Amino acid sequence: MRFAMVAVLLLAVTPASFSEERLADDPGVTEALRLVETWVEGQRTYEGIPGISAAVVHDQELIWEHGFGVTDRERGTRATPGTIYSICSISKLFTSVAVMQLRDHEQLALSDPVSEHLPWFNLRQAHPEGPPITLWGLLTHSSGLPRESDYPYWNLPDFPFPTREEMKARLGEQETLYPASKYFQYSNLGLSLLGEVVAEVSGQSFGEYVQRQILAPLDLADTRPELPEFERGKRMATGYGAKARDGSRAEVPFFQALGIAPAAGFSSTVRDLAKFASWQFRLLESGDDEVLAANTLREMHRVQWLDPDWETARGLGFGVYRVNDTTFVGHGGSCPGFRSTLRLQTDKRIAVIFMANSSGVAPEAWAGRTYQIMAPAIAEALESKDDGESTESVEDTEPEIDFERYAGNYSLAPWGGEMAVIPWKGSLAVVYLPTDDPLEALAKLRHVEDHTFRRVRDDDALGEEIVFEIDAEGRSVALRRHSLSWPRVD
């Protein structure tokens, strides 16, 4: 498959994204997206992942959205930004927003004991000397509750999620693991109970409340507190398991999370989660009250719980992650046959979303690497926008050179995977696939003459030659390096 420059679909998140100067049109941004697309498709292919959908947002502009591979191997349906996936634990963000919305309306307090709103809350307290189990404890996963309701719903063959009634019926047979406010203990049971609190306090079913008070106001038409069975075989992706010893990924049976839906039952698209991210950036910038009070969202994003090891930090519903000197908020999701992540960097107003219809994959790593590639390109584009200049690089480039004729993937068999060639910084670069770090695997090339380039070392010295072999139609069909010829395969 040739990685030609793609036409990026630009869905407006708000009318502001129709401005004449879009970041998505900046040459440096499109070049960075070319690297992201080349790398993600390489990872998908070599890891045997059926489908991936992804998006990058800056503030109110959806800079990029893309689908890779297929949503269903049997049907061959292409993955798109509108493909619907299970988002599993990202569901917790919508449940947490619902709780905080009710708090803003003074219908509950985070210091309230869970039993104040759920009279049937009869989980055994194994540590009576500890503080009460509160709504704040459930939101921060510091309540001491066990991870799951006492059912084997993560198991094959059919993932028997309990109904609300079944979860409630067995609650009294479970007990706390720790005293409240002692340790972080991730708990799907805890967030499921918060969904019950939302229903009890609002007088509506959990799904009805979330639909009316959150999803509809934010125009998240493809986000639901369940998986849309009516979209199976259409827009709903088919889930596949982790890679087996023989390299295969088995199809995973369809499921509904039922009583665990507030913790793990939602479905969505990268397009909808891009809107969800833009809403957060908009709210933080404007200070207005839109679904939530702006200060409430800031409160949710701030560290509310830090484990004694100083490794695990949580906001209210949100995970808070520190990578080097940069703080991100968001959440990941892992359900049978699906993995997803939503990661926001609020200072730079950049969000990255990935969804895959496979277990045993790493969307958090994809999001992290994509951010590393895109953040500098976006920053340069914003700076040049202010200065009225273009970020397009002209690094010793002869303007008549058509770099696209060389772009493509070249096989390194039997020694490795592929060498992808892409236009980069006014010349070319090669990226070795597969790789966990596309920037580390990238090597710049400098044009010497005709179809000959040389690798640029880190100290800017020139290394070995790379010569492209051109056919009668003027297309590159192979490249030579160290006297070896590597054929083009896309």
CA distances from 294 to 64, 108, 281, 298 (A): 26, 18, 10, 6
Q: What is the pLDDT of residue 392?
A: 54
What's the rounded Cα separation, in Å, for the pair 479 and 421? 10
CB of 475 closer than 8 Å to CB of 462: no
pLDDT at 15: 38
Q: In which element (H, E) is residue 64 found?
A: strand 61-72
18 burial (CB, 10 Å; 0-12 / 13-18 / 19+) is exposed
Beta bridge partners of 53: 67, 355
Written as one letter, the residue type at 394 is V
Helix and strand numbers (H, E) in the chain are 11, 21
Give the residues of the chain that fall short of pLDDT 70: 1-20, 388-399
Sorted by where each begins, the domain ranges of the chain are 87-372, 403-487
Predicted model pTM: 0.92
Q: Is beta strand 289-290 parallel, antiparallel or unpaired with respect to 462-470?
A: unpaired
In this predicted structure, what is the pLDDT of residue 21? 79
Give me the count of residues in the chain: 490
Handedness of CA 194, 199, 205, 208 (dihedral sign): negative
Output the pLDDT for position 306: 95
Instruction: Tell me the per-residue pLDDT of 62-89, one tens digit each, with 9 for 90 and over.
Output: 999 999 999 999 999 999 999 999 999 9
CA atoms of 212 and 226, how far apart (whole Å)? 15
For residue 364, the Cα-to-chain-centroid distance in whole angstroms is 6
Find, among 84, 1, 111, the residue nearest to 488 by Cα: 1
Cα separation of 24 and 55, whole Å? 12
Q: What are phi and psi of 282, to 5 degrees?
A: -65, -45
Q: What is the pLDDT of residue 384?
A: 84
What pLDDT is recorded for position 490? 86
CA within 13 Å, CB half, 103: 22
- Distance between CA atoms of 458 and 4, rounded to whole angstroms? 27
Are 220 and 337 spatial neighbours (Cβ–Cβ below 8 Å)? no
- Please give the pLDDT value at position 9: 36
pLDDT at 417: 95
> Which residue type is seen at 470?
I
| Cα distance between residue 160 and residue 409, in whole Å | 44
CATH level 2 (architecture), domain 403-487: Beta Barrel (2.40)
Query: Which residues have CB under 8 Å from 2's CB, separation 6+?
Result: 407, 408, 409, 490
User: What CA–CA distance (Å, rounded) separates 467 from 471?
Assistant: 13
| DSSP symbol at 13 | S
Residue at token pair 């994003």: 301
Within 8 A by CB and 6+ apart from 335, the residues are: 86, 88, 89, 239, 255, 257, 264
* Local structure of 197: helix, strand or coil: helix
- Please state, in angstroms and rounded to a whole number, the distance separating the CA atoms of residues 328 and 151: 33
Pairing relationship of beta strands 292-293 and 427-433 according to DSSP bridges: unpaired
DSSP string, 379-446: HHHHHHHHHT------TT--TT--GGGT-EEEE-TTTSSEEEEEEETTEEEEEEES-S-TTTTEEEEE
Question: Residue 146 is encoded by which pair of tokens?
Answer: 């066990």
Cα–Cα distance measured from residue 362 to residue 340, given in angstroms and rounded to the nearest whole number? 8
pLDDT of residue 2: 36
Q: Between the CA of residue 360 and those of 44, 180, 339, 433, what are the distances in Å?
A: 12, 32, 8, 19
CATH architecture, range 87-372: 3-Layer(aba) Sandwich (3.40)
